[in-house]
Amino acid sequence: MMSYAQAAVSALQHEMAADANVVVLGEDVGRGGIFGQYKGLQQEFGAERVIDTPISESAIVGAGVGMALAGLRPVVEMRVVDFALCGMDEIVNQAAKNRFMFGGQGRVPLVMRMPIGIWDASAAQHTQSLETWFAHLPGVVVVCPATPQDNYSLLRAALVSGDPVVYMEHKTLWGLQGEVDTAQSVKLGRAATLRTGQHLTLVSWSKQVHACAQASEMLAQEGVEVELIDLRTIWPWDRDAVLASCAKTGHLLVVHEAVQAAGFGAEIAATAAEATGCMVRRLGAPRIPVGYAPVLEAQSHISVDDVAVAARAMLK
């Protein structure tokens, strides 16, 4: 058994031992990171490969881009996705576009870790889910692991992909325990079908996969067979798996913690409707900042009951 955080450490440990070009840089990485996602790595590999930086996200990402172009395979730590906004020029105009603008002469094998999601009592500036921003950006891969196994396998896949990867771990999953098979590999862009069913296709990613799994169990007791798909990679996303399921069930519900308006669920729903003619529905957060007070924060959560109610409404 490993926690979600330990799985990430193990993945980095494996790749750093195998390739001296893998380096880590960011705030607090030397002491293990604020979630323990780098615990013990500086002691094992030294301060020249696990590098503590000043508080400057633009400098961290900019240095990572330069390192990648020079032949290293850097992992840059943003602490939370909200802070990555201070490094957006380096992400959007440097990391993402370099390979295209210079005719493939240089590649940017850079992994940018940006924890996402509602973190209890952390208010509006530390609780955002911005995966859609990066899915809209040509030139980057966007990954959202939901389990310790996927955090291990997908992080290793991101490290060897050769492209800039926006790697988004959910802040409340760090302590989640699960079995991890270190021999199991995963290809970026491949979804996981967690259960099969014939009545409804349910697509999600990151923390909301767990709410959807619980809702699927509830619905099964009512005779509703849900096909649950964990997208895992937001871009590229597994169209084949989703569309095959939608063609079978005729109903698609996409669930995400991010704001529903212009969320990535809309892309999946539109694609499925165009390709299969299935009935579609999205379930995401209202377009409001996440509140600090528990009663306000609760307005942004998508609960197990919310998922079950939306599914039942589609099948009436």
Active site residues: 126
Tokens 């990613």 found at:
205
Cis peptide bond prior to 236, omega within 30° of 0? yes
Q: Are 40 and 63 in contact (CB under 8 A)?
A: no
Pick from 70, 13, 72: which is nearest to 45 by CA?
13
Tokens 């063609």 found at:
247
Q: Are 141 and 164 in contact (CB under 8 A)?
A: yes
Judging by DSSP bridges, how do beta strands 165-167 and 141-143 pair with one another?
parallel
Instruction: Write the DSSP string, 66-101.
Output: HHHHTT-EEEEE-SSHHHHGGGHHIIIIIITTHHHH
> Long-range contacts: 85-89, Cβ < 8 Å, 24+?
85/57, 86/56, 86/57, 86/58, 87/57, 87/58, 87/60, 87/61, 87/62, 89/58
